[in-house]
Amino acid sequence: MKPRTKLEKKIVELSNKIPEISDAKRRWAFSLFPVNGFYLKKGEVWCQCCGHVDHVSKPMLAVSLELESHTCPNCGKRVALEHHRGRSCRSEIRHVSFLQTFFGINVIRTFEVSRVNEGKGKSTIYEMNEIYQNWIDDRGKEVIACRPYSRSMYNLSWHMGERMQIGRHNGSVTGAYVMDDMFDTSGNYFYPICRTTQRVSRNGWRNEFIKMNVSVERVIKQLLTNPVAETIVKQGQMDVFKYMLREGNYQLPYQHTLNICHRNGYFIEDASLWFDYMDLLVYFHLDTRNARYVCPVNLKAEHDRLLSRKRRVEERVAIKKKMAEAEKWEKEYRENKGKYFGICFGNENVVITVIRSVAEMAEEGEKMHHCVYDAGYYRKKDSLILSARDRNGSRLETVELSLSTFKVIQSRGVCNSNTACHNEIVKLVEENVNLIKMVSRGVKGFDKKQEKIKN
């Protein structure tokens, strides 16, 4: 992409003048690859660091395997051994980045570093090619210079021999947003020694940012353009800053509470949990300007306590809402199932009754944590819902009986589980199904028979 602005033209010019990296940085980049080698049972050890094949006796190979390493006589490195198992070679690629300055501009230089083993007995080839640069001036303006590249859903290739040109983050390129941002440095290996401009350093830059697995270019831009980010970093709230970058929320809520934390020397170790806790404080109208609430000694315990309290409140609200909704169906439910409301039977352990209203069914579903109400069983004309309880009135299971076949369709306990009395409850319903049949067929004298059963 051709440069269009004065800044882009300047960056392209500088990107082609920037000097090569030092030999020390190259050695560091090559040291990122694992120190390993392959072995064959016949007594060969193939070093992946230099490509040398060492012929050793089987007893010495056994000793190396026992020690879990072998010293390569060519490069002198102690390599971890893996069984060859027919592997021809192992080629690996790393993306490494270096943060430095050039002509008063911050630049993150990213290289593709490769280690190629072409075959047993051939020397290992190391290559290091620069693929893109993130330039950020002290105003927070970013310009990307990159090698030309070809990209598809399955392949990405850089044209290493060509000069740098202007690149764009995927978010600003039509059609490319579905792919990963190829100019995002998060996840790259960063050289531990970083150089930034004086303004970035003054605004709070720390070398620990390169270990946080966040986009370093976004860190620099936020430090240069966002006073909130600068304040958070200088206060030492690093996890809050990381949360800001991860969420993309650059104007954090509850900024006054962060100042309270700073005055009380309180460091937030889990920013995501802490912001959820702040939301809970607001939900219960608690004072977010009081250090007692804002700086809890045990954040997780306080968060869980308020969350449980909120759930109880929402459960009560949900029950009230269901009760209000149930009133709309009460008349229809009484018309369809009212004739069964007098049915009651049981034994010395269990008492089973017909659920007498939609509101009662809503309460049953809420207490038993199943879908008898939410699934609209009160609207099913062919189903009769019964509640099985023990002699103390505690709910055991909810039973659905078919009014066409007079068979138990299902009997569910808490969270749709079966209780120890499950078989007893099903058997009890089946034994007394004639009572339900008598009501369904309108047999006269049922009330007197039911009264005898109750007695």
Q: How does pLDDT run across 110-160, given as a tens digit for each residue?
A: 999 999 988 777 889 999 999 999 999 999 999 999 998 887 777 788 888
State which of 326, 345, 373 marks the end of a domain. Answer: 326
Distance between CA atoms of 108 and 99, rounded to whole angstroms? Answer: 5
Percent of the chain at pLDDT > 90 equals 53
Last residue of a domain, one of 108, 142, 172: 172
User: What is the average per-residue pLDDT within 71-90?
Assistant: 80
- Choose the weakest-confidence range: 35-44, 53-62, 162-171, 438-447: 438-447
Range of the domain at 279: 252-326
User: For residue 193, is it within any domain?
Assistant: no
Question: In the structure, what pLDDT confidence band is assigned to residue 171 with cuts at 50, 70 and 90?
Answer: low
Count CA within 13 A, CB hemisphere, residue 440.
15
pLDDT value, residue 86:
63
Task: Assign 209 a pLDDT band (cuts: 50, 70, 90).
Answer: very high
- For residue 255, pLDDT over 80 is answered with yes
Domains: count for the chain: 3
Q: Which tokens hold the place of 451?
A: 């009264």
Average pLDDT value for the chain: 87
Residue 114 within a domain: yes
Q: Looking at the structure, do residues 268 and 336 belong to the same domain, yes or no? A: no
d(CA 177, CA 440): 64
Higher pLDDT, 428 or 57: 428
Instruction: Supply the pLDDT for residue 455.
Output: 44
**Domain assignment of residue 215, yes or no:** no
Q: In this structure, are 11 and 135 located in the same domain?
A: yes
Question: Do 334 and 448 share a structural domain?
Answer: yes
Same structural domain, 346 and 404: yes
Q: Is residue 197 part of a domain?
A: no
Q: Are residues 306 and 405 in the same domain?
A: no
Nearest in space to 288 (alpha carbons), one of 249, 250, 261:
261
Asked whether residue 301 falls in the same domain as residue 413, the answer is: no
pLDDT for residue 43: 83
Q: Judge whether 81 and 37 are in contact, CB under 8 Å.
A: yes
Triad 239, 250, 240: Cα angle to 5°: 10
Q: Please tell me the predicted confidence (pLDDT) of residue 270.
A: 94
Q: Please give the average per-residue pLDDT across 402-421, as a whole number.
A: 91
Q: Does 284 score more than 90 pLDDT?
A: yes
Final residue of a structural domain among 172, 196, 217: 172
What is the pLDDT confidence band of residue 316, given thresholds at 50, 70 and 90? confident
Average of per-residue pLDDT across 328-353: 89
User: What pLDDT does residue 85 have?
Assistant: 67
Q: What is the pLDDT of residues 212-249, one digit of tens each?
A: 888 999 999 999 999 999 999 999 999 999 999 888 77
Kindly state whether residues 295 and 346 are assigned to the same domain: no
Residue 176 has pLDDT above 50, yes or no: no
* Closest among 125, 50, 37, 124 to 79, alpha carbons compared: 37
Contact status, residue 53 vs residue 120, Cβ threshold 8 Å = yes
Q: Average pLDDT for residues 193-216, to the nearest whole number?
A: 93
